[in-house]
Each structure stands twice: as structure tokens, then as C-alpha cells.
Structure 1
Amino acid sequence: MYLHLGADVVVKKDDIIAIMDMESSSLSRTTKEFLKNEEMMGRVINVDVENLPKSYVLVKYNKDDAFVYISPIATQTLLKRANHSNLFDV
């Protein structure tokens, strides 16, 4: 099963670690540091540079690594998609 994050980006539902609201979670100093470190490591992918980011999704890449996908789709919408039939099998 896959979840559409915006533009042409989909990720495996089983690989999703967290779906976070950009506005509320980025108020934390710890979260800001985490996002900054991930960006410096080249592990941040902006799904849609044309629209404002509304959420970010932490996705497992392999056993030891993860990527942060910045999405223009609201957290609530992503959660609804993850829990309903907007997921599709490939």
C-alpha cells in the first residue's frame, strides 16, 4: 500500500514512521534541530516547491536511515488518506 504525499510522490505506508504538522511541530527547538540536521545530511525532500509546506513525513529508507518528505498536504488529509481507501496497491 502506498500514500500519495503530493505532486508525483508516493511512499510505502509500512515505511512511514511519523506524519507531523509543520506549523505546530516546528515550534520546538528539538524539532528545528532535527530538521536542520536532516537537511544538512541531504535527507530532506521537498515534494512541491510551488506550494507552502503544511506537513512533513518521516519515512524509513532502510534499517538505519530515514528521509523527511516536506508535503503541501495537511496532516489531517494525509492521515485520512492513510486510514482510508486513498491508498492503492501496486
Structure 2
Amino acid sequence: MFLHLGENVVVPIKDVIGIFDINATMFSSDTSQFLRLAEEDGFIEKITNDPPKSFVIAEVDKKSKIYLSPISSTTLTKRTDINYSLSEK
């Protein structure tokens, strides 16, 4: 299966490492520094000129790539059809 990140960008779900809410993570100086360094090194792909709502880390051709997506992390996670639960049943 594939995950549609916005515009015409899709990645195989098996290659997705993580989906993150950009607003929630920007309060962390470590995350801000990580994204800044990744951009300097050319690992970031901006999908659209719209402000990003999330970023997705994926493995593409055995290299990590970060996609800035205009779609919320909640919506992207729902599209993966993977149920993550912090509580045990």
C-alpha cells in the first residue's frame, strides 16, 4: 500500500519511518535543529508551497528523506490504516 502525502507525492507505507505534527514538534529545539540540518543537507522535500502541517520521514533508495506535507499528521496516520494505541486492552 501507498501513503498519499499531498499533491502527486506517494510513498510505500512500508518505507515510512515516522509521521509528525509540525506544530507540536517545533517547540523542541532539538527537532528544529534536526529539520534545519536536514534541509541544509538536502534531505527535505517540500511537497507544495502551502504551509506544512506535518512532516514524514521515509526511507527512499536506502536513504532517509523528509517530506513536508500540507496534510495533518492525524489524517496521514489514518491513511496508513495502522491502529496505534497507548493503552492495553
> Scaled by the length of structure 1, what TM-score is found?
0.86
**Partner-residue secondary structure (3-state), 1:56:** strand
C-alpha deviation, 1:61, in angstroms: 2.1
Between 1 and 2, higher relative CO (CA 8 Å, sep ≥ 6) is seen in 1
* Structure 1 unpaired stretches of 5+: 85-90
**Distance in 1 (alpha carbons) for counterparts of 2:17 and 2:80:** 12
**Distance in 2 (alpha carbons) for counterparts of 1:76 and 1:25:** 14
**Partner-residue secondary structure (3-state), 2:65:** strand
Q: Does residue 24 of the first structure (1) align with residue 24 of the second (2)?
A: yes
Q: What percent of counterpart residues are identical?
A: 38
Alignment partner, residue 6 of structure 2: 6
Alignment partner of 1:66 out of 64, 67, 71? 64
Instruction: Give per-residue Cα distances to partners, 1:41-74, cap 9 Å, x unaligned.
Output: 101001111x2110000001244x2010000000
**Distance in 2 (alpha carbons) for counterparts of 1:48 and 1:6:** 8
Provide the aligned C-alpha RMSD in A.
Answer: 1.2
**Partner-residue secondary structure (3-state), 1:52:** coil
What number of residue pairs does the alignment pair up?
82
* Structure 2 unpaired stretches of 5+: 83-89
